Amino acid sequence: MAQHFLLSAQARTLSLKEIYKGGEDKAYQVFKKLRWASTDGNPVCPKCGCLDHYEISTRRKFKCAACGSQYSVTSGTIFASRKLGFMDLLGAVCIFVNAVKGLSALQLSRDLDVQYKTAWVLAHKLREALSLEIQNDKALDGDVEVDGAYFGGHIRPHNIAEKRVDRRRAEHQTGKRRVVVAFRERNGRTRPFVVKSEAEGVELAKRHVDRLAIMHADEASHWDMLHAGWETERVNHSKTYSDHGKHTNWVESYFSRLRRMVTGQHHHVSPQYLHQYANHAAWLEDNRRNSNGENAADILGKAMAHGVSRVWKGYWQRANAT
């Protein structure tokens, strides 16, 4: 029997042992080469683009010879104002990509020996960086499957049977329930969106799916509108999951990963940040056939190319201020 890719040596090209054996200097060189790839790691001033600089070796900083501004390898990136060392950041990325069904901030904080708050914000910064690949403007094409799944808003039933309410009724809802509508190309990209109703997926399709694509959906009535804009294949799940190529198995595979992430790792996900976890699951699903070294380089490169996060920089300071 053929060996699964994830069980092979080709899937393991990066390890924590090698990262920490290399030390801080080697990790620093990795960050320099990723930040300034076009100059093979030679610093470029982020303000004026000048290559001439003075090195402040005691602080791992540079001073631009043209404009005089000081900058570091993480200035203007998502890691700006970092406190962790480069070796720990590289280790965090390795741990992050190795967790194929998501990673809780508590586990990351224990692995790195940092506060929970530090790990939580760091994980969300990485999710924000990878979301740029997921939520791009390129329309989905080919065979595209669409479906929705609800998350959050659980209402615990009362202990006494006589006091229990019908949790399906609107007046008993918490207002935190959201639906993730996902579009997935077969053998291609996954693009999720967080909305309040699955029916909103029709309008999302108009903006993100090519009109020449072939849509695949289940028998939910709101997907009837897809027939007006696309060639559409439907499958009745009450009778069969797959009917001669008519199925939504690819997008259901994505929801399987997302549910295991939310239920098994995070346990509780706020509707405010559900899109972060949905994008993370989509990235994991789309890159599941890459080695962990490739995925680490991919996400670290995206993080170094990403600007300063306006959501996560100083998150806890703002939260404590309010």
Q: pLDDT by residue (tens digit) across 274-293?
A: 999 999 999 999 999 999 99
Write down the pLDDT at residue 109. 97
Cα separation, 223 vs 216, whole angstroms: 10
Is residue 245 very low, low, confident or very high in pLDDT (cuts 50, 70, 90)? confident
Is residue 227 very low, low, confident or very high in pLDDT (cuts 50, 70, 90)? very high
Cα separation, 235 vs 247, whole angstroms: 6
| 191 contact partners, CB below 8 Å, separation of at least 6 | 134, 135, 140, 182, 183, 184, 208, 282
Cα separation, 197 vs 8, whole angstroms: 41
Q: What is the pLDDT of residues 187-214, one digit of tens each?
A: 999 999 999 999 999 999 999 999 999 9
pLDDT higher than threshold 90 for residue 170:
no
Tokens of residue 164, six digits: 């229990």
- Residue 178 carries which DSSP code? E
Is residue 1 very low, low, confident or very high in pLDDT (cuts 50, 70, 90)? low
Write down the pLDDT at residue 317. 85
Q: What is the pLDDT of residues 63-112, one digit of tens each?
A: 999 999 999 999 999 999 899 999 999 999 999 999 999 999 999 999 99
**String of DSSP letters for 59-110:** TTEEEETTT--EE-TTTTSTTTT--S-HHHHHHHHHHHHH-TT---HHHHHH
Helix (H) or strand (E) holding 181: strand 178-185
| 253 contact partners, CB below 8 Å, separation of at least 6 | 285
Tell me the pTM: 0.92
pLDDT higher than threshold 80 for residue 125:
yes
> Nearest Cα to 62, choosing from 83, 92, 35?
35
Q: Where are the alpha helices (DSSP H) in the chain?
A: 16-35, 86-98, 105-112, 116-134, 201-208, 249-260, 274-286, 292-305, 315-321
Tokens of residue 74, six digits: 């993480």
Main-chain dihedrals φ then ψ at residue 58, nearest 5 degrees: -70, -20
Q: What is the pLDDT of residues 52-64, one digit of tens each?
A: 999 998 889 999 9
Portion of the chain with pLDDT greater than 90, in percent = 80
Query: Position of tokens 């994830």?
Result: 6
Tokens of residue 21, six digits: 């054996």
129-138: average pLDDT? 90
| Whether 67 contacts 130, CB under 8 Å | no
**String of DSSP letters for 232-271:** EEEE-TTT-SEETTEE-HHHHHHHHHHHHIIIIIIS---T
> Nearest Cα to 188, choosing from 224, 143, 231, 230?
143
Write down the pLDDT at residue 244. 87
285-303: average pLDDT? 94
Write down the pLDDT at residue 322. 62
Q: How far is CA 275 from the centre of its chain?
A: 8
> Nearest Cα to 27, choosing from 89, 113, 97?
89
Q: What is the pLDDT of residues 246-264, one digit of tens each?
A: 999 999 999 999 999 999 9
Main-chain dihedrals φ then ψ at residue 193, nearest 5 degrees: -140, 140
